[in-house]
Homo-oligomer: A and B are copies of this chain.
Amino acid sequence: MPLLSDSIERFIKELMAQGNEVSLRRNELAQHFGCAPSQINYVLSTRFTLDSGYVIASRRGGGGYIRVMRIAGGGENLLRYMACSGIGEGISKARAHAMINRLLEEKTITLRESRLMKTAVDNCAQPVAGLQDGMRARILKSMFCVLLMESI
């Protein structure tokens, strides 16, 4: 008897065979496999991670969905390496900036993009009052300011 998680993983990957994206209803999928809905979350969070090249987006409420996207671009490129292997569970500010600079030198990103990325990693790493909303506000503001500087 194959593992439930493996079956669900394979099923989702088959759905994605055409195209790099698929949209799921969590409850439907759970019913199809006769398991708890939260099992789907388990599979997604263990088998469709950023590190393994997937991005998940979802929405709750009526008309809710889970979208699984596969990151394109096979093998060799620098970005892929950086995204998948170059960062572990944690990274210093210095290393983050170094990686961003490297992408800029390779012309993989623009100057503006590099500045947006740097301000995001710089500002995300300090604690802030009003936890979630406060952090969001700080990062967003810092990015707006980057754009504003650029436009002057």
By a beta-carbon cutoff of 8 Å, the part of chain A in contact with chain B is 2-3, 5-6, 20-21, 50-51, 55, 57, 62-63, 69, 71-73, 75-76, 79-80, 82-83, 87-93, 96, 99-100, 103, 108-109, 112-113, 116-117, 120-121, 124-127, 129-137, 139-145, 147-152
Copies in the complex: 2
A96: chain B residues at CB < 8 Å are 136, 140
- Taking each of A57, A62, A148, which has the highest tally of chain B beta carbons within 10 Å of its own beta carbon? A148
Q: A90–B134 contact, CB under 8 A? A: yes
Q: Could you tell me the distance between the alpha carbons of A92 and B131 in the complex, rounded to whole angstroms?
A: 11
Q: A109–B145 contact, CB under 8 A? A: no
Instruction: Give 28 CB contacts A-B under 8 Å.
Output: A2-B63, A3-B63, A20-B150, A21-B151, A55-B149, A57-B152, A69-B151, A69-B152, A71-B149, A72-B148, A72-B149, A75-B151, A79-B148, A88-B137, A89-B129, A89-B137, A90-B137, A91-B140, A92-B133, A100-B140, A109-B147, A116-B120, A117-B140, A120-B124, A120-B143, A124-B135, A124-B136, A125-B133
